[in-house]
């Protein structure tokens, strides 16, 4: 289990033994970036949430561009196809308290995080 305190403006690293690397989630404020490190790409993919009910931007370093999806209610499943990965990154965010799943082709599996909110902090459970 891990806790994120936005006021700390620091990075929490989740060790993934299978890939001997970390996934880093940086949430200095509720309008910041959650960065998932993709070891196979040796780079980060950032999920930018400028407003909790607006645009989500997936920055793909390998493509050197940002892919944006509009999510009016954040109550549906989005699948972002990333050509370089030849797969989809699927996020299901019913109320910002559900699963963010990153499919890693090299592992042929998904890395999922369950996010929840509390009055004091954000946090997540690693599945």
What is the length of the chain?
127
Residue 9 has phi, psi (to 5 degrees) of 50, 45
Q: Is the dihedral of CA 4, 85, 44, 79 positive or negative?
A: negative
d(CA 95, CA 111): 20
Reported as a single tens digit per residue, the pLDDT across 79-112 is 444 444 444 444 444 444 444 555 545 555 555 4
pTM of the model: 0.21
How high is the pLDDT of residue 109? 52
Q: Which residues of the chain have pLDDT under 70?
A: 1-127
Burial class (CB within 10 angstroms; exposed 0-12, middle 13-18, buried 19+) of 65: exposed
């Amino acid at each position: 289990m891990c806790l994120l305190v936005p006021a700390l403006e620091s990075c929490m690293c989740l060790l993934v033994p299978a890939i001997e690397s970390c996934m880093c989630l940086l949430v200095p404020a509720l309008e910041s970036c959650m960065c998932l490190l993709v070891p196979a790409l040796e780079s980060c993919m950032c999920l930018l949430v400028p407003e909790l009910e607006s645009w989500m931007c997936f920055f793909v370093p390998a493509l050197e561009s940002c892919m944006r999806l509009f999510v009016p209610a954040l109550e549906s499943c989005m699948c972002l196809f990333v050509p370089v990965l030849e797969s989809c990154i699927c996020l299901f965010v019913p109320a910002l308290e559900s699963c963010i799943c990153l499919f890693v082709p090299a592992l042929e599996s998904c890395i999922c995080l369950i996010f929840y909110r509390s009055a004091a902090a954000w946090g997540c459970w690693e599945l």
